[in-house]
Structure 1
């Protein structure tokens, strides 16, 4: 006779599963105000000039490409967003806002952020580096704001099951954004741990299956099923 035991694996303290969350950081560009001349015919910074000015701001680590949604109207408070690609796995999407217009010169500031597509590429790269194997897919629910403590949730599908991970911003300085994935108790580790606990209690499980990974935060739970022969 077999009995099915359903258990909740509970994380009581933070658990690190043998690897540190990979942290992505963008080299901080020159912090001096960026300036560009508006078009002589229209009161705006044209798209090409804006892209060139942003590219040139990254003096120590030039981006592979800069693509802005549109040009920037030369009026304080006007803004646009630009996709800055640093590598195949990493980029940012800063919001560019006009801060002042003086004698034909437009000065503007940039606020960092990561788009949904950029975050998915970065998370896939983090998982690949950690497990030495690429996940089947990564789907993030949103992009990531450039604010310390900001979070975004991403679903990672690998080996036939999907787990949710949290991308967390740890530090922001200028355009530099440091963020990584919170560590988890992996599904296989949770299953092995539960099987070992059952053996110690005098019951040997024929099979143990957990629904997914367990987030490493206080109070996190995951449902696991053990089949035991009597």
Structure 2
């Protein structure tokens, strides 16, 4: 029994000192911006991401963004692949985490002639949606992005205030709008609706993976296996 007691003591110490790993889950997300000028086609982002519920960090956000100005109906719009999550931050006031995924491997989206960071929704509104590299069309990198918001509980429906901060930009060169990128922003969130009057209306998040077990779960499982083996051995010895 001394060996069993030692095993229990070691397990207890392990549980007391080992940090519990936060549950990391994978989610799907669909964000929609209403486009008055291209109805019945809207701008839609469909993607997925991983979320750490302890650190509130989003990783691996990627997906595709529809171009509502293309196609004859909603079934055959062109979709852009957005595979580079380059920006993320936590907003304590809104109670959640923002993340943006881009078409290019950099954030160069809007012109910086009027200042600004060259990508954020507010920078886009302030410059009138003019593309990065203006005034030379050949310098337009044709970037695009979608900005989503994940509440502390990702499955909680967004409030209107949170929806107002969702945004997208599509600066595909050679488009119908010349030097202006197609954007989707809200007047309440950024002071103006998008360049074709588009604005965010909804976001739906759903879980698609089981959370990763905490370290303590593995410790208890190992302890159970050890104890089972020891009990079986004692029974054999007493037989």
Larger strand proportion of the pair: 1
Higher relative contact order (CA 8 A, sep 6+): 1
Larger helix proportion of the pair: 2
Could you say which structure has the larger radius of gyration?
2
